[in-house]
Amino acid sequence: MTLEQLLATALPIIQAPMAGAQGSAMAIAVSNAGGLGSLPCAMLTPDAMVAEIQAIRAGTDKPFNLNFFCHAEPPPDPARESAWRALLAPYYLEFGLDPAASASGPARAPFSAAIADLVETFRPPVVSFHFGLPAPDLLARVKSWGARVLSSATTVEEALWLEAAGVDAVIAQGYEAGGHRGMFLDDDLATQAGTFALVRQVVQAVRIPVIAAGGIADHPGVAAARALGAAGVQAGSAYLLCPEATISAIHRAALSAPSARRSCVTNLFSGRPARGIVNRLIAEHGPINPAAPAFPLASAALAPLRAAAEAQGRGDFSPLWCGQHPPRFPGLDAAAVTRALAGQA
Amino acid sequence: MTLEQLLATALPIIQAPMAGAQGSAMAIAVSNAGGLGSLPCAMLTPDAMVAEIQAIRAGTDKPFNLNFFCHAEPPPDPARESAWRALLAPYYLEFGLDPAASASGPARAPFSAAIADLVETFRPPVVSFHFGLPAPDLLARVKSWGARVLSSATTVEEALWLEAAGVDAVIAQGYEAGGHRGMFLDDDLATQAGTFALVRQVVQAVRIPVIAAGGIADHPGVAAARALGAAGVQAGSAYLLCPEATISAIHRAALSAPSARRSCVTNLFSGRPARGIVNRLIAEHGPINPAAPAFPLASAALAPLRAAAEAQGRGDFSPLWCGQHPPRFPGLDAAAVTRALAGQA
């Protein structure tokens, strides 16, 4: 079965779910253009999630994807939190903020029975997970809706694990990919593989379709992924300059600068490794810092700094998510990017 | 001009020079099969270099490549050497070696006027460099022989620099590549790009042919590199299990094990970042350790440990160079690997 048959799309192109960077408008545009639009749900409140899914149902009759995180929520770790706040304290002082003030960052809730209750009525055609899969009973429930299930692998071992767990296709997320790495069996960043090596080896290891992700920014990239045996691609950064993206002007400017090519995988912004453009916080304390609290707790203490710096027009404390191939099509909307990726002139 | 026209080869396949892992026999086999065989010269004595080039001239009338390093030789740094020896001292004791004994590792000499004198009479058809390029007068001398000149870039900026310096083609060395990273303008490992992202962006940035390297292990990999716009590929690990490779039985066994997929970029074995299979030394002190002396000095103090462990059948202190796609064709010789890469059944 081809990926298009599996997903019931015209094109083998999945728009990567990018939490905090896009919502229903981008998903609708991509799905209507023949790709698979994705709604990142991890940072949405239940009400917002329902409203966004309703918007998608109203905006397209094509298949779409709902994306959820599957992390375990970490126990409180006051010592690490203190170390983190101590590390950030000089910045608080620099911006005239109170280092002792409590702070909360963007919430990131893992998929749960409560969320399943919410989305079940919408019968999402495709559901994708990041950081592994939910517990077997929850996964079975999603599959009982008839949803196609996808998840990301960053190693051959993770791909084999996902296949055994029953996913319909696996996203081989290479080192180039922007945003959070989906790693869930392995926490060794040093051995994470580039897209070229990972995709080919995952294709050889599993029987289900493989979706290539990481560094794919244009149609030649899609063709190369197909040559490696991928059934299709998932592209994220390629869409970040679209009008449908909800990122800040600061993030847009960073993506458009030559320095967008200087990205790295950092744990500073959330506690989990994620790829973003090198900025002041990374340069001074990263890319990987053991003081950063476990995912998703690191973001809370950063939130006031991020807001203060952004108010001055600076992204020094903002996660400037971007893959190793910055977006190539400024000015194109999400439908046009989808067509460009597919080679439709 | 195609890469085949530039190099006067039948195939757009370059066998990567792998110092310490192969010599003239592999180069001859690859060149005779229609690829570009390479002789790594960096670790050869002048006499051995001449003998190897004579062997190539006797073994093939096809083009071949001589490869040289262009590093600056570091000044002595007794403090760092002491730190390195202190770090290694427990291993010396474990193997019953004298930590105070002097040790010397494999020499790695940069390209020089003396070496140019040696090789000039052979009029090498192709000369490739790693870690940048030699000084302009030396480079001009090599070009005056009519040699085609190649060098490796690990960033778009390095590719543009090499193009401006007059190389005939640039090797885009992705993060997946085994052995030493060719980085020379940049020493930030965290921002090194995967093959997929790097090749495509270098292709867009330069006018000269781009040779893709890193994670390319079979014909679909070559096809994918071509789809990205590469004029050809340079493959190294793909040849490491050939009978022509001169690596140890320990290295061969490591390359054949599933754990060959767990490689990382480490500075422990030479002082410069290079990709090899994770072993004991990396697990316990790596992958990057600031105590390791500058390239190539780190290898000296490791040499006795490497020898002692290898005598026990263990590669705990050996550089087990390998890219992120371990060799796929055990049993094939270098000519057959060349044909397999080219898609000649």
Quick: pLDDT tens for A5-54: 999 999 999 999 999 999 999 999 999 999 999 999 999 999 999 999 99
End-to-end CA distance of chain A: 27
Specify whether B88 is located in the same domain as B183.
no
Q: How far A165 CA lies from chain B's nearest CA (Å)?
A: 21
CB atoms within 10 A of CB B120: 14
Specify whether B254 is located in the same domain as B284.
yes
Burial of A87 (0-12, 13-18, 19+ CB in 10 A): middle
DSSP-derived 3-state class of residue A264: strand
End-to-end CA distance of chain B: 27
Indicate whether B103 pLDDT > 80: no
Chain A residues close to B200, C-beta within 8 Å: 215, 217-218, 220-221, 224, 325
| Average confidence score pLDDT of chain A | 96
Residue B30 near residue B24 (C-beta atoms within 8 A): no
Chain B residues close to A175, C-beta within 8 Å: 175, 194
Q: How far A125 CA lies from chain B's nearest CA (Å)?
A: 30
Residue A215 near residue A176 (C-beta atoms within 8 A): yes
pLDDT number for residue A271:
96
The closest of B243, B172, B212, B217 to B29, measured between CA atoms, is B243
Specify whether A231 is located in the same domain as A264.
no
Q: Which residues contact B35 (CB under 8 A, 6 or more apart)?
A: B9, B10, B11, B13, B14, B15, B338, B341, B342
Residue B5 carries which DSSP code?
A: H
Among B156, B191, B196, select the one facing A195 at the smallest CB separation: B196
Among B156, B197, B229, select the one facing A220 at the smallest CB separation: B229
pLDDT number for residue A105:
63
Chain B residues close to A230, C-beta within 8 Å: none
Confidence band, pLDDT 50/70/90 cuts, at residue A104 = confident
How far CA B340 is from CA of A131, A335, B28, B220, B329, in Å, comes to: 37, 40, 17, 10, 9
Q: How far B254 CA lies from chain A's nearest CA (Å)?
A: 16
Mean pLDDT of A82-99: 96
Residue B282 near residue B263 (C-beta atoms within 8 A): no
Name the percent of chain A lying above pLDDT 90.
Answer: 95
Name the percent of chain A lying above pLDDT 70.
Answer: 99
Range of the domain at A162: 1-71+108-240+332-345
pLDDT number for residue B184:
98
For residue B287, the chain A residue with the least C-alpha distance is A190
For residue A191, the chain B residue with the least C-alpha distance is B264
Q: Which residues contact A312 (CB under 8 A, 6 or more apart)?
A: none
The closest of A191, A110, A72, A284 to B286, measured between CA atoms, is A191
Interface of B with A (CB under 8 A): 155-156, 174-176, 188, 190-191, 193-198, 200-201, 214-218, 220-221, 223-229, 261-265, 278, 286-287, 323-325
User: How many CB pairs lie under 8 A apart between chains A and B?
Assistant: 132
Chain B residues close to A220, C-beta within 8 Å: 200, 227-229
Q: Do residue B228 and residue A216 have CB atoms under 8 angstroms apart?
A: no
Mean pLDDT of A335-344: 98
- pLDDT tens digit sequence for B123-177: 999 999 999 999 999 999 999 999 999 999 999 999 999 999 999 999 999 999 9
For residue A204, the chain B residue with the least C-alpha distance is B328
Q: Do residue B214 and residue A223 have CB atoms under 8 angstroms apart?
A: no
Burial of B293 (0-12, 13-18, 19+ CB in 10 A): buried
Q: For residues A3 and A76, what is the distance between their CA atoms, to the nearest angstrom?
A: 41
Window from A207-221, B70-84, B123-137, B261-275 with minimum mean pLDDT: B70-84
For residue B194, the chain A residue with the least C-alpha distance is A194
Rg (C-alpha) for chain B, rounded Å, is: 19
Would the CA dihedral through A75, A80, A86, A89 be positive or negative? negative
Half-sphere exposure of A176 (CA within 13 A, CB side): 36
Q: Do residue B196 and residue A214 have CB atoms under 8 angstroms apart?
A: yes
Rg (C-alpha) for chain A, rounded Å, is: 19
Q: For residues A264 and A176, what is the distance between their CA atoms, to the nearest angstrom?
A: 9
User: Which amino acid is located at A312 in the chain?
Assistant: Q
Indicate whether B199 pLDDT > 70: yes
Q: Do residue A200 and residue B191 have CB atoms under 8 angstroms apart?
A: no
Confidence band, pLDDT 50/70/90 cuts, at residue B43 = very high
For residue A201, the chain B residue with the least C-alpha distance is B325
Q: Characterize the bridge pairing of strands B179-180 and A37-40.
A: unpaired
Q: Do residue B197 and residue A220 have CB atoms under 8 angstroms apart?
A: no
Question: Could you tell me the pTM of the whole model?
Answer: 0.97
| Average confidence score pLDDT of chain B | 96
ipTM of the shown complex: 0.96
Specify whether B145 is located in the same domain as B255.
no
Residue A224 near residue A345 (C-beta atoms within 8 A): no
Which helix (DSSP H) or strand (DSSP E) does residue A130 occupy? strand A126-130
Residue A326 belongs to some domain of the structure: no
Among A156, A188, A227, select the one facing B220 at the smallest CB separation: A227
Specify whether B90 is located in the same domain as B137.
no
Phi and psi for A272 in degrees, rounded to 5? -115, 150
Q: For residues B38 and B66, what is the distance between their CA atoms, to the nearest angstrom?
A: 6
Chain A residues close to B215, C-beta within 8 Å: 193-194, 196-197, 200
Residue A182 near residue A150 (C-beta atoms within 8 A): no
Q: For residues B294 and B313, what is the distance between their CA atoms, to the nearest angstrom?
A: 28
CATH number of the structural domain spanning residue A219: 3.20.20.70
Q: Where are the alpha helices (DSSP H) in chain A?
A: 3-7, 24-32, 46-59, 78-94, 113-120, 136-144, 156-165, 195-205, 219-227, 249-256, 280-285, 298-311, 334-342
Q: For residues A116 and A118, what is the distance between their CA atoms, to the nearest angstrom?
A: 5
Q: Do residue B324 and residue A155 have CB atoms under 8 angstroms apart?
A: no
Residue A80 belongs to some domain of the structure: no
Chain B residues close to A225, C-beta within 8 Å: 224
Chain B residues close to A261, C-beta within 8 Å: 155-156, 191, 193, 201
Specify whether A31 is located in the same domain as A161.
yes
Indicate whether B105 pLDDT > 80: no
Q: Do residue B325 and residue A191 have CB atoms under 8 angstroms apart?
A: no
Q: Structurally, how many domains does chain A consist of?
A: 2
Residue B171 near residue B213 (C-beta atoms within 8 A): yes
Specify whether A311 is located in the same domain as A230.
no
Q: For residues B281 and B279, what is the distance between their CA atoms, to the nearest angstrom?
A: 6
Specify whether B315 is located in the same domain as B266.
yes
Q: Which residues contact B259 (CB under 8 A, 6 or more apart)?
A: B277, B278
pLDDT number for residue A106:
64
pLDDT number for residue A292:
97
Specify whether B118 is located in the same domain as B256.
no
Residue A78 belongs to some domain of the structure: no
Specify whether A183 is located in the same domain as A63.
yes
Which of A158, A192, A196 is best to mutate for the B interface (most B CBs within 10 A)? Answer: A196
Residue B74 carries which DSSP code?
A: P
Please name every residue paired with B64 in a beta bridge, in sequence order, or none if there are none: B37
For residue B328, the chain A residue with the least C-alpha distance is A201
Among A174, A223, A261, select the one facing B194 at the smallest CB separation: A174
Among A176, A200, A278, select the one facing B193 at the smallest CB separation: A176
Q: For residues B255 and B249, what is the distance between their CA atoms, to the nearest angstrom?
A: 10
User: Which amino acid is located at B52 in the chain?
Assistant: E
Measure the CA angle with vertex A187, ends B224 and A168; round to 5°: 55
Return the HEC string of A1-54: CCHHHHHCCCCCEEECCCCCCCCHHHHHHHHHCCCEEEEECCCCCHHHHHHHHH
Chain centroid to CA B257: 22
Specify whether B283 is located in the same domain as B166.
no
How far CA A73 is from CA of A46, A64, A69, B7, B234, in Å, comes to: 18, 27, 11, 57, 45
Output the DSSP codes for A177-192: --EE----S---GGGP
Residue A277 near residue A240 (C-beta atoms within 8 A): no
Measure the CA angle with vertex B294, ends B289 and B296; round to 5°: 115
Specify whether B225 is located in the same domain as B342.
yes
pLDDT number for residue A102:
75
Burial of B75 (0-12, 13-18, 19+ CB in 10 A): exposed
Q: For residues A200 and A172, what is the distance between their CA atoms, to the nearest angstrom?
A: 9
